[in-house]
Amino acid sequence: MSTPNFSLAGKVIVQSGGSGLLGRALVSGLAGCGATLVVASRDAAKLEPHAAAERAAGRRVYAETVDIVDETSVHALRDRVLAAHGRIDGFVFNAVSRPMRKMGDDLAAWRASMETNATGFFAITRAMADAIAEGGGGSVVNIASMQGMIGMNPWLYEGTTMGVPPDYFFHKGGMINLTRHLASHYGPQKARVNVVSPGGIYNPANPQAPAFLERYGKMTMLGRMAEASEVTGAVVFLLSDASTYITGTNLVVDGGYTAK
């Protein structure tokens, strides 16, 4: 019997979205597990300081620019990665845009959200999955949210300015089920497609309201929000050869919130 291989050494992985709370943790986590990581967002200059710090620590992280709503930009990124690194073994979709703030917003905000969170998501995930399949196989991991599995609990947000807009539930729910369809489509080409659904992530730089933190903790089995670094292990696992028979799965990382 062979030992499972959780390493990403030798794998070329593209990550879409890397400047945010989870995005930065993913960059360090994936590169720390040995990946050659190309991290892309609309402005590579914003990603470069973190990428440079990772390279200074001996890791292979390269910042690139992509606008996922522009298919020409998406294909150009794919072609640059293939030219520089020869192949693509994995893709992580971590981009999100939040043009909508509340239920009563103008439909223009809903449409803008559709453009990035639905059309852009599909454009880059299809392009990267095609490249992975053409290269002989690999793994796609989409970052959804437990909010794609449940409705909002207004009690959590009482007395705070916090809340989650309606488009988020639509896109994350759609992402979870589109992942199943993509897994079915790409399976015969040895490209696996899975989704990770994190629960709420604690933001140390801009902490959530104390009342929210206390109530949120009570909703989980572990009594607290996630640290961003606690989500990365699930993504590493799904990208690695330790998960070669896992596809179409939604791996929930929520401290037991949705199981309660």
Ligand X SMILES: NC(=O)c1ccc[n+]([C@@H]2O[C@H](COP(=O)([O-])OP(=O)(O)OC[C@H]3O[C@@H](n4cnc5c(N)ncnc54)[C@H](O)[C@@H]3O)[C@@H](O)[C@H]2O)c1
Residue 89 is a binding residue for ligand X (CB under 6 A): no
CB of 183 to ligand X, least distance (A): 19
Stretch that binds ligand X, among 7-15, 75-83, 90-98, 243-251 (CB under 6 A): 90-98
Stretch that binds ligand X, among 20-28, 49-57, 149-157, 244-252 (CB under 6 A): 20-28
Judge whether 168 counts as a catalytic residue: yes
Nearer to ligand X, 227 or 244 (CB): 227
Tell which one of 35, 61, 69, 182 touches ligand X (CB under 6 A).
69
Stretch that binds ligand X, among 6-14, 128-136, 197-205, 241-249 (CB under 6 A): 197-205
Residue 198 is a binding residue for ligand X (CB under 6 A): yes
Residue 29 is a binding residue for ligand X (CB under 6 A): no
Residue 66 is a binding residue for ligand X (CB under 6 A): yes
Distance between CA 144 and CA 119 in Å, rounded?
Answer: 15
Residue 68 is a binding residue for ligand X (CB under 6 A): yes
Catalytic: which of 157, 168, 216, 257?
168
Residue 94 is a binding residue for ligand X (CB under 6 A): yes
List residues binding ligand X (CB under 6 A).
17-23, 41-42, 66-69, 94-97, 116, 120, 143, 145, 198, 200-201
Which residues carry out catalysis?
A: 168
